[in-house]
Amino acid sequence: MPPTNLLRIATRASKSEFKNCITWSRAIRQLHLSPRWQTDGVFKELTEMRVRTPWIEALRKKEQEGIDPTQRSSVPATPSNRDLTPKRMSDSFHRVVWLFKVIPLAQDPWLLDNYLNANGQLRLGTIFMDLDALSGVIAYKHTGESVTTVTAAVDRITINHPLTELCDLELSGQVTFATGRSSMEISIQVAKVPEKGTSAKKEDVLMTCAFTMVSLDPNTKKPVAICPLKVETEEEKRLFALGEKNSNIKKARAKTGLRKQTPNDEESDLIHAIWLRQLDYHDPNNPLRKPPHTHYMSSTTLSSSQIMQPQYRNRHNFMIFGGYLLKTTFELAFCCAAAFSHSRPTFLSLDPSTFDNPVPVGSVLYLKATVAYTEAVDEGGASDARLAGEEGNGKRKEGGGTRVQIRID
């Protein structure tokens, strides 16, 4: 039935018939020439802020101008007289509320459909996508539209209080550290929606994290200065000091990484001890053999490759959205842990992750997941060195488990 006919019938119907007609029409997935934009787990409000130009239009513009926006240019695009007046933390504050209800399965069940896994629980990878999308929204509220802002790193993401049921969730964050150089730290939390007029309680916070964003000139791809933060309250001073501490830690780690520095004496001794143990396993004169419950690291590797499609591009159209990369790496790590343990793993935390290089649209992304470390834990979650195998039999206690760390390259 054409839409005009449906409207004609509805307007001529009685009040009760009109209500039934509207209820019936909402229960049907409507067909349009331009269907409602739904992406893999990114909330509609954040998606619209992330991608503003249809892919075909961006592609045609690139072909007509004959300029590759992914390549560096010698002519800067950022105005030299930009206003860099210090801003308040509250100037960048942004909040998004997801309406997830057990009954009646949210106001928009098709949105909820994007966020659920096979067990009917929240799919964490899609939440990670929204975290990165929100950090981009917050960053541009602080920097303005004249610069290109990209995700440089994601600090540790920890599940503080796991959800036991689907509920309304609130995503909120703001810039908490910026000194006026090119980078800024954005702190985000995911919490149960508090009652009207109140703030989220500590026990209602699902997870917290921090994103490091860097602003670049759109043409030269070089870092550009941004507005520094103006802290006023004691809480803002605390958040700023925490961001400064995190920044110093990351700089120190960058100097002591394996790409910058050789292993120290303690690390070298550990590597040598592991190597000697492997030799003992193969020595015919040594009764020591590899325990059946242990595995070589090389046997735990899980790889994937996929084409980077334009549906997951960032707001600059020709590079892949960092949140999608975060989701992809997380789900590969989950599969690796599941394959290694032959069970369904429980996510505990995401260690600091760094984006070294951008990923162009149309490229092939190769990922490799490897079990890098395992540690037996008791029922309360505390680790026990004796369970690792040196003094004991390497088996976990009854009711305990094993903490598994996955490395993604």
- 136 CA to centre of own chain: 12
Burial class (CB in 10 A: 0-12, 13-18, 19+), 301: middle
Task: Say which residue the tokens 């810039």 belong to.
Answer: 175
What's the Cα-to-Cα distance from 341 to each of 99, 152, 202, 289, 336, rounded to whole Å? 34, 32, 33, 22, 9
Q: What is the pLDDT along the chain (409 residues), one digit of tens a residue?
A: 444 333 333 334 444 443 444 343 344 444 444 444 444 445 555 555 666 778 888 888 888 887 777 777 777 778 778 888 888 888 888 776 644 432 233 456 666 777 788 887 788 888 888 888 888 888 888 988 888 888 888 988 888 887 777 777 788 889 999 998 999 999 998 888 777 777 777 888 888 889 999 998 888 888 999 999 998 899 989 999 999 998 888 888 878 777 788 888 888 898 898 888 888 888 888 888 888 878 888 899 999 999 999 888 888 778 888 889 999 999 999 999 999 999 889 888 888 888 888 899 999 999 999 999 888 887 655 554 433 333 334 444 455 688 899 999 8
Closest CA to 167 of 199, 145, 190: 190
Report the predicted TM-score, pTM, of the whole model to 2 decimal places.
0.76
Closest CA to 148 of 314, 311, 312, 310: 314
Rounded distance, CA 370 to CA 104, Å? 41
